[in-house]
Amino acid sequence: MSPASRVAVCRTGHLVTRSASDARYNTSFCLNCGTEVIRACPACGAPLLDPTPHLALSRNVPNFCHGCGRPFPWTREDAMIGKILEAIDNDPSLDDGQRLELKEQIRNSREEGLDANQQASLWKKVKEGVPQRIWDFTVPILQAILTAEAKKRLGLPP
Ligand SMILES: [Zn+2]
Ligand SMILES: [Zn+2]
């Protein structure tokens, strides 16, 4: 891994630098918003990588850790949900009817005003319907977006 592909990002999601050889790489706090600058995944310690190293003027930051699949503090919920929907769309073991049903459950789980029980039961159906491969990376996403109560009911670690 070349040091140039490592990025430093603040907790809000501002790109601080795209290069580990840049002095700004070791900045402690973001000049824009004052939040802590991180260079590695808070969960597993894998370095943050530039998602588009081939684009010279890119300001993109990674949304998911390449080491553990978890979303980062700045990753937007729609990006997290999009990743799950995309995986369902591209999974050859699901037929069209199953895909529609799973996506419907995920859409319903995003509606406002659901209690922990309703959320947990929708995600439980998703868990039963998707291949293990998809569920494996859905878990860290749910850990980031669900309430403690919904996670408990779903049997997820907090
Ligand atoms: Zn910032
Ligand atoms: Zn990680």
pLDDT for the residue numbered 57: 86
Mean pLDDT per 10-residue segment, the chain (158 residues)? 79 95 95 97 95 89 92 93 95 96 95 94 96 93 93 90
Residue 67 CA to ligand 2 centre (angstroms): 5
Domain count, the chain: 2
- End residue of a domain, out of 74, 106, 135: 74
Same structural domain for residues 144 and 109? yes
**What is the distance in A from the centroid of ligand 1 to the CA of 56?**
21
Residues 14 and 47 in one domain: yes
Name the strand (E) or helix (H) holding 108: helix 96-109
157 and 151 in contact (C-beta within 8 Å)?
yes
Please check whether residues 59 and 90 belong to one and the same domain. no
Q: Are residues 5 and 68 in the same domain?
A: yes
**Strands in the chain per DSSP E:** 8-10, 15-17, 37-38
- The whole-number pLDDT of residue 58 equals 86
Question: What spacing in Å lies between the alpha carbon of 69 and ligand 2's midpoint?
Answer: 6
pLDDT of residue 10: 97
Domain shared by 55 and 106, yes or no: no
Domain span at residue 115? 77-154
